[in-house]
Structure 1
C-alpha cells in the first residue's frame, strides 16, 4: 500500500473525486486531512484551470489536502491520470496530520508528521510562479477559475475549430 496526498481536483467534493473512489481503478482509503510541512506554490493554470503544486519548496503556502492509502492498481491509475512524467512527477513530501478519517492507522494522529507521495510539477510556464498561490484548492471558490473536466476539454477544443 502507498500513501498519496491529494490537494486538487481529486479531493472530496471536487470534480475528479469520483475517480479515486471508483473501485475499478483500484482501492483508495481516506486516512486524514493534512497540510504540507513545507510551503509550496499551489496555482491554478492553463485554459482548463488545473491546480498545480509547483515543486518549489519554501515558496507559497503550506498546502491543505487529503491523505489516502492506495493499492498498486490505484497508484498506477493515478500515475496515468496525472500524466507521469509529462505533466506531473510523483515526489515525496512531509505532511502534518490535521484530522483523522474513520480508517485505523496506528502511525497517524493529529499533529504527527508523516511522508506521502504527491503529484507536483517541475515543468511549467515561466509566469506560473507569479500566479496567485492558494493554501487550499476548491474548483467552486470565489477565484472564478472553475476546473474544466477532460471530457469537456475535448468539446471546448472542437468548438474553437
Structure 2
C-alpha cells in the first residue's frame, strides 16, 4: 500500500473521482484532508483547463487535497492515468494532516506530518509560472476555467 496525495480532478466531488472508487482499478482508502508543507504552484493550463502542480517547491501556495492509501493495482492505474513519467512524475511530498478519517493504524492526527506521493510536473510551458496559483482546486469553481473531461478532448494538449 502507498500513500497518494490528490489535489485536482481525483478529489471527492471532482470529475475524475469516480476513478478512485472503481474497484476494477484497485483499492483507494481515504485517510485525511491534508495540505503540502511547502508551497507549490498549482495552476490551471491548456485549452482543457487541466490542474497542474508544478514541481517548483517554494513558489505558489500550500496546496490542499486528499490523502489516500492505495494498493499496487490502483497505483499502476494512477501512473497510467496521470501519464507518468512523461506528463507527470510521481514525487514525494510532505503533508500536514488537516483531519483524519482512517481507523486503527491508518488513523492520522490533525497537525501531524506525513509523507506521500503526488503527481507533479517539470514538463510545463515557461509561461505557466505566470498563471494564477491556487491553494484548492475546484473543476467547477473558476468561471471560464471549467475542466474538460478526457473523453471530450481532441488528442492534443
**TM-score for the superposition, normalised by structure 1:** 0.93
Moved over 6 A (4+): none
Alpha-carbon distance in structure 2 between the residues aligned to 1:135 and 1:95? 13
Q: Report the Cα offset of residue 107 of structure 1.
A: 6.0
Q: Judge which range, 100-109 or 37-46, deviates more.
A: 100-109
Give 1:19-58 correspondences, 5 Å limit: 19-58=19-58
Aligned to 1:87: 87
Q: Residues 142, 84 of structure 1: CA spacing in aligned structure 2 closer, same or farther, 3 A cutoff? A: closer
Aligned to 1:125: 125
Q: Report the Cα offset of residue 105 of structure 1.
A: 3.4
Asked if the contact 1:30–1:103 (Cα under 8 Å) also holds between the matched residues in 2, the reply is no
Asked if the contact 2:100–2:107 (Cα under 8 Å) also holds between the matched residues in 1, the reply is no
Aligned to 2:101: 101
**TM-score for the superposition, normalised by structure 2:** 0.95
Aligned to 1:63: 63
Q: Report the Cα offset of residue 101 of structure 1.
A: 1.7
* Root mean square deviation, CA, Å: 1.2
Alpha-carbon distance in structure 1 between the residues aligned to 2:62 and 2:123? 21
Alpha-carbon distance in structure 1 between the residues aligned to 2:33 and 2:13? 14
Aligned to 2:77: 77
Asked if the contact 2:42–2:53 (Cα under 8 Å) also holds between the matched residues in 1, the reply is yes
The CA deviation string for residues 105-135 of structure 1, in whole angstroms up to 9 with x for no partner, is: 3562100000000000001001011100000
Structure 1: unaligned runs, 5 residues or longer: none
The CA deviation string for residues 14-67 of structure 1, in whole angstroms up to 9 with x for no partner, is: 000000110000000000000000000000000000000000000000000000
Asked if the contact 1:31–1:68 (Cα under 8 Å) also holds between the matched residues in 2, the reply is yes
